[in-house]
Structure formats: C-alpha cells, structure tokens
Amino acid sequence: MRLAGAKVRLAIPPGAAPRGEQVVVTRARVAAIDSRDFRRVPARFQSARTIFACGVVLDRGGTSVVDRRYLVLRIASRRFRRASDYVVVYSTKQHAFVPAPRGHARVVDGNAVVRLRAGTQVAVIERR
C-alpha cells in the first residue's frame, strides 16, 4: 500500500489475528508531532523533525486488539536517505515517542524496518 508518499508493507505472523480482526494502518499528521513529543532519544535528535508517521491497529468489532506477537512493518521512502534517520514508537506510559527497542528498528538505504506490536504508532525522525 502507499501511505504519505511511502510504500508500506505489513507482515502479520500466523495466529496474530485468529478471529478475523481487521488490520488498520493509519496515517498520522507529521506536522502535529513536535520534538517536545520525544523522550529518551539521543541528544542529537532532541530537536529532530518527523518525516514519516503511521499507526498499526488490529480491530475486532470497533475495539483495538493488542497481540503479544510482533508484526513487521517495512516502509520504503526516498525521504529516508541518511543512516542518521531514527525510529521512535509511541509509549502510552510516557505519553510520548521513545526510541524503538534495541534491535527492533533500523533505517538503511531508503528503507525502514520495524518490529512492533499492534496498537503502536511509529515515526521516523531526522536531525535538523
């Protein structure tokens, strides 16, 4: 699928949606995500700019389902040019975007690959 000028693919492991849940990928307004929404990011990203954001939800009858299995989100965009782009995920505990867990995200050669659980928002940020 195409989303905000990027090609997005989502791999859902067997059993993650056993009752026929709908997979919903939402587009976020990147302009609404400010650097004040980032917590625990490295110092060089304290004033970063968001270049892509989306959310992934498994929906069953209007209710979000959170599964323990990880989904794999692949995003390809020309905007991901530098190795210095960084992936953050939304933390409901901190009410802010925090670094993706170690080993769960990377940006290389115009592609971002993120392991995440459904019900998560993801953003790719770049240094200013």
CA gap 110, 79 in Å, rounded:
7
Determine what percent of the chain is predicted with pLDDT higher than 70: 98
Phi, then psi, of 31 in degrees rounded to 5: -65, -20
Is residue 47 over pLDDT 80? Answer: yes
Is residue 23 over pLDDT 90? Answer: no
Between the CA atoms of 75, 58, 101 and 26, what dihedral angle is there, to the nearest 10 degrees? 40
CA gap 48, 22 in Å, rounded:
33
Is residue 105 over pLDDT 80? Answer: yes
The total domain count for the chain is 1
Is residue 20 over pLDDT 90? Answer: no
- 53 confidence band (pLDDT: 50, 70, 90): very high
Residue span of the structural domain in which 37 resides: 2-126
Residue 83 pLDDT: 65
| Average pLDDT, rounded, for the chain | 89
CA gap 65, 59 in Å, rounded:
6
Q: What's the DSSP call for residue 18? A: T
CA gap 93, 90 in Å, rounded:
9
Residue 18 pLDDT: 76
